Chain A
């Protein structure tokens, strides 16, 4: 049986989390290669449907990474995203999918280590929980 390699999707905002990801690369920080980044201008663009769709399309874990509180370049995009993440978590739980597969992270633009830590943490979380129940065979 093949070893389970989680598929993790990260929705990152352009100004903070994605800059941190970029910096992590420049700093040659290692982090789980399971993470696929989707760049957004702002996490304010995130809505519950986008997050549910990521799971429908095969993600084992999903996280949204935006600016730290008070630092959003669009003022409150990150706060809006947090609410959408909470809503989507509830909707996942309603159908019996662990809400812990979905999370929000505040990551400052210069905080590459936090970016790497988030990627590792969510990958680890997905390993613990196993493949998304939506993917289980048979």
Chain B
């Protein structure tokens, strides 16, 4: 899932400076699951903003709502009218959600309440770990299911580097060396010969180092305006 973290309160307050009517809009998918921007977080932030307005003796009208997804037009459409009653929308979605919202609600300003961080797994309660960078050309089949792009500090394709020591990455003793993990997993799988394969120089164009990426699926596009 996409994980995010709520911005510090002062930063959020600064973004809302000068606005009187604020709609706080949560997102019911990834950021709900990672407890950063769902319904509960909307209520908590609203409570904080109400208290802050009272303390500063400013007037603030706060609306609260959470939609299923802010990265999908069909979920935003039903709230366009409601949003029109506010001066600004404080989105608690990931950056993608904030942007679609901003596009669909123009000329209403939309500001982000979260920092979008990474693609993660929920490791255990309250802990999310980065696992994928969306590189556009997955090599997990060669690496025992462990991603060297996201999990090696240097994103090495032919690791480990000389800094790998006792299974830890030289960047920090808290970080396992991704290439040690790969080695161990390949060993468990009986596929250690994979380590001998020299990965060729990587074509990074499918990754985020290219232009903004897009996927267009002809079969998923409706005919004469109908949904597929």
Contacts and interface: CB of A to CB of B under 8 A. Distances in A.
A18 interface: no
Interface residues of A, number: 15
A52 B48 contact: yes
B54 A134 contact: yes
Interface in B18-73: 40, 43-44, 47-48, 50-52, 54-55
B52 A52 contact: no
A32 interface: no
B162 interface: no
Contacts, number: 37
B44 A52 contact: yes
B215 to A, nearest CB: 39
A62 to B, nearest CB: 13
B43 A91 contact: no
B44 A133 contact: no
Contacts of A95: 9, 48, 51-52, 55
Interface in A69-107: 91-92, 94-97
A133 B56 CA distance: 10
B51 A134 contact: yes
A91 B55 contact: no
B46 to A, nearest CB: 9
A15 interface: no
A28 interface: no
Nearest to A93: B9
Interface in B131-158: none
A38 interface: no
B212 interface: no
Interface in A37-87: 47-49, 52-53, 55-56
A49 B55 contact: no
B51 A56 contact: yes
Contacts of B200: none
25 contacts: A47-B40, A49-B44, A52-B44, A52-B47, A52-B51, A53-B47, A56-B50, A56-B51, A91-B44, A91-B47, A91-B48, A92-B51, A94-B8, A94-B10, A94-B48, A95-B9, A95-B51, A95-B52, A95-B55, A96-B55, A97-B51, A133-B55, A134-B51, A134-B54, A134-B55
Given A52-B48, A97-B55, 14 more contacts: A49-B40, A49-B44, A52-B47, A53-B47, A55-B51, A56-B47, A56-B50, A56-B51, A91-B44, A91-B47, A92-B51, A94-B10, A94-B48, A134-B55
Interface of A: 47-49, 52-53, 55-56, 91-92, 94-97, 133-134
Query: Which 3 A-B pairs have CB atoms at the shortest separation, nearest pair first?
Result: A94-B9, A52-B47, A95-B52
Interface of B: 8-10, 40, 43-44, 47-48, 50-52, 54-55
